Amino acid sequence: MEETIKFQLNGKKTEATIDPTQTLLWVLRNHFGLTGTKFGCGMGSCGACTVLIDNEPVRSCQLSVGDVAGKNVVTIEGLATNGKLHPVQKAFAEHDALQCGFCTPGMIMNATGLLLKNPLPTTQEIMDGMENNLCRCAAHLRIVEAVQTASKEMKGGK
Ligand code: FES
Ligand code: FES
């Protein structure tokens, strides 16, 4: 049965009248047309579907949309402000930290959540924080470098 779920999406109050058991990933992509969030494994294993919920990186394939009622959801489409890339997006571009790009939105959202919690992570902390996001193109080294650069630019977190 459908319900109206209200939440904040990329900085705006929003609502969807929808089956609350649908996954957040499905709703973002198919109801809101936000296809930046990717369907990889659908099983919580790859991280391609990562979004921020109340600043925490969460796998949107593992969450029902009903669970985000009243929460603040940010997707890759909501990171840039006033046409200016977020420091993590900018650093990924500068370091060419991608190949096919399929894992990239999830990587960027996970890295953003990591830097919000720990603005000056060590290399090991970056590797540990990113290791459960999978990149089949093996861009991991450049991804770690990008997160280091973003950390310097964010200095203290934004
Ligand atoms: Fe959600 Fe892989 S699609 S973790
Ligand atoms: Fe292709 Fe990571 S850039 S999966």
Each residue of 79-97: pLDDT tens digit? 999 999 999 999 999 999 9
Confidence (pTM): 0.96
| Ligand 1 neighbour 76 (Cβ under 6 A) | no
Element at 111 (helix H, strand E): helix 104-117
Checking if the pLDDT of 156 tops 70, the result is no
Ligand 2 site, residue 48, Cβ cutoff 6 A: no
Check whether 158 has a pLDDT greater than 90.
no
Q: Which of 73, 133, 71 is nearest to 106 (CA)?
A: 133
Our answer on whether the CB atom of 139 is closer than 6 Å to any ligand 2 atom is yes
Residue nearest to atom 2 of ligand 2 (CA): 135
- Regarding the beta carbon of 101 and ligand 2, being less than 6 Å apart is answered yes
Rounded CA separation 3/26 (Å): 16
| Closest CA relative to residue 103, chosen from 136, 61, 128, 144 | 136
